[in-house]
Structure 1
């Protein structure tokens, strides 16, 4: 059995850990409110822009469509962009998205496809570098600091567009954690290039911004799409950053709350063990004193 000094040291150490986890929980809770509001505010704008571009794309022929819409005409090389965090202690936030990405990599490689990776966040860069160093073409560390900003999304988009114009990939898919609640985050894939409207894929006719009416465009649809498609990339990447940041804070708040409660349970258990050991030692000393007195 550990000595009283060892138990006391352990209790003191766990108490210090509980103070740290409690403080981290409060910091994450404070950041979560702001992050959640930003993520929820960005959703309607990003969804409406995606729907509008989907409606415009429906009236454009494949021959005259911009390259970001039509793609390269092939799907041999896939670029996967992974949104992770720069810091840990956030439960399964990073693990869940890395598992989803690894599963997708295995699917594509089994089909004979070439996979390239771009990771944002120090944790994602580190985890992917261990097993897929040859596929990781670029990593953005400490990008979302202190909060997501649109120019940070532009930096990621510039890298993606540069690679696409150089013919380095055919299809680009973004993986991020969508914020559902402080307890729930959903790993979400989003195809960026070539542009694919989610509403079009679902066949939701009521979601069309054109509503079946006839419009005349000035300039024409091709020119509008050519101007808006790069902006849409920035909007969607920025939205994913906001969603990912809110998910990170929610996951960290939940993880630190669990850690604080577990530390409290451990302190209670150690305190009981300490008191029992102390009581046993006192009883032993009393027995030795009484035995000595009787011997005289």
Structure 2
């Protein structure tokens, strides 16, 4: 059995660690609240853009627009697919990073011509150690997502898609369902699917369709709206991932703090037993010494 001094030293180490996990919990809690407020403030604008695209599509003929071109002539195995992978800049967030990496690796197994655009230092280090070729255009930190970063990413992805360097663009991120559930998922950004914008049209199917004059043309209107919509989609995914990361870290740090308390409880019992045994041994030695002295007398 360990000595009382060793147990005390271990208890102090656990207490110091518990202070760190408690502080990290509080920090993540504060950042989570800010991220959720940011998302709530910006969501209405981008939902309005989605609705506007749906309205424009209702007044267009069946001609294909370049942002909706699925390029069916290209075989599935020959399609060049870009994946924006949103990870964290540091660990200690439970399975947050692992779930994102698992989806990315599954996508890589299905298509050998895929290209990864990794955000977050943990993701870059992970794929670097795996020997995966990662695009280095976006060496951004994922802390405090900004519209500027979303604009840079969207412009690059749109340019590569329109130039034919990529046939599809997907984003792999983590969506926060509620305070206890985070889901890593993959969402297609390009080409856009008309069914994504069909909800509003279906709701208004039996209503009078308004007359809209689009100048200079519906194609040009979409050329103006769609980049803003994609920018908002990417920004929303970045904020969702940021919020999910801190929510995962809160849960991980809360679990670590609870485990530390349980360990301290067990060590406290062990320490009391060791101390009691030492006291009992000292009393026994004193009594034995007294008896020995009495016999000599």
Q: What range describes the TM-score normalised by the shorter chain of this pair? A: 0.7 to 0.9
Per-residue CA shift, 1:182-201, capped at 9, x if unaligned?
A: 32112232211111256347
Do 2:85 and 2:118's aligned partners in 1 also have CA atoms closer than 8 Å?
yes
How far residue 207 of structure 1 moved from its aligned partner, in angstroms, is: 7.3
The structure-2 alpha-carbon separation of the partners of 1:191 and 1:197, relative to structure 1 and needing over 3 Å to count, comes to: farther
The structure-2 alpha-carbon separation of the partners of 1:242 and 1:267, relative to structure 1 and needing over 3 Å to count, comes to: same
Q: Distance in 1 between matches of 2:131 and 2:60?
A: 39
Task: Provide the residue aligned with 2:100 in structure 1.
Answer: 97
Task: Provide the residue aligned with 2:148 in structure 1.
Answer: 151
Do 1:71 and 1:194's aligned partners in 2 also have CA atoms closer than 8 Å?
yes
Q: Structure 2 residue aligned with 1:247, among 244, 262, 266?
A: 244
Per-residue CA shift, 1:82-128, capped at 9, x if unaligned?
A: 1111122111211112212222332x23xxx5211111111122223
How far residue 280 of structure 1 moved from its aligned partner, in angstroms, is: 0.8
Task: Provide the residue aligned with 1:118 in structure 2.
Answer: 117
Q: Distance in 2 between matches of 1:295 and 1:223?
A: 107
Within 5 Å, give how 1:1-296 maps onto structure 2. Answer: 1-57=1-57, 59-60=59-60, 65=65, 67-73=66-72, 74=74, 76-106=79-109, 108-109=110-111, 114-131=113-130, 133-134=132-133, 136-138=134-136, 140-145=138-143, 147-197=144-194, 199-200=196-197, 205-206=202-203, 212-296=209-293
The structure-2 alpha-carbon separation of the partners of 1:101 and 1:228, relative to structure 1 and needing over 3 Å to count, comes to: same
**Residue aligned with 1:119, SS:** strand
Do 1:56 and 1:221's aligned partners in 2 also have CA atoms closer than 8 Å?
yes
How far residue 172 of structure 1 moved from its aligned partner, in angstroms, is: 0.5
The structure-2 alpha-carbon separation of the partners of 1:35 and 1:211, relative to structure 1 and needing over 3 Å to count, comes to: farther
**Residue aligned with 1:79, SS:** strand
**Residue aligned with 2:91, SS:** coil
Per-residue CA shift, 1:195-232, capped at 9, x if unaligned?
A: 12563477971178x97444332221101111222222
Q: Distance in 2 between matches of 1:294 and 1:207?
A: 102
What TM-score do the two structures reach when normalised by structure 2? 0.87
What TM-score do the two structures reach when normalised by structure 1? 0.87
Unaligned runs of 5+ residues in structure 2 are none
How far residue 162 of structure 1 moved from its aligned partner, in angstroms, is: 3.6
Q: Distance in 2 between matches of 1:255 and 1:204?
A: 43
How far residue 55 of structure 1 moved from its aligned partner, in angstroms, is: 4.0
Question: Structure 1 residues 191-200 or 268-277, which shifts more?
Answer: 191-200
Unaligned runs of 5+ residues in structure 1 are none
Runs of 4+ in 1 over 3 A off after TM superposition: 57-64, 71-75, 139-142, 197-204, 210-214
Q: How many residues align?
A: 288
Do 2:54 and 2:200's aligned partners in 1 also have CA atoms closer than 8 Å?
no
Per-residue CA shift, 1:209-257, capped at 9, x if unaligned?
A: x974443322211011112222222111111111111111211112111
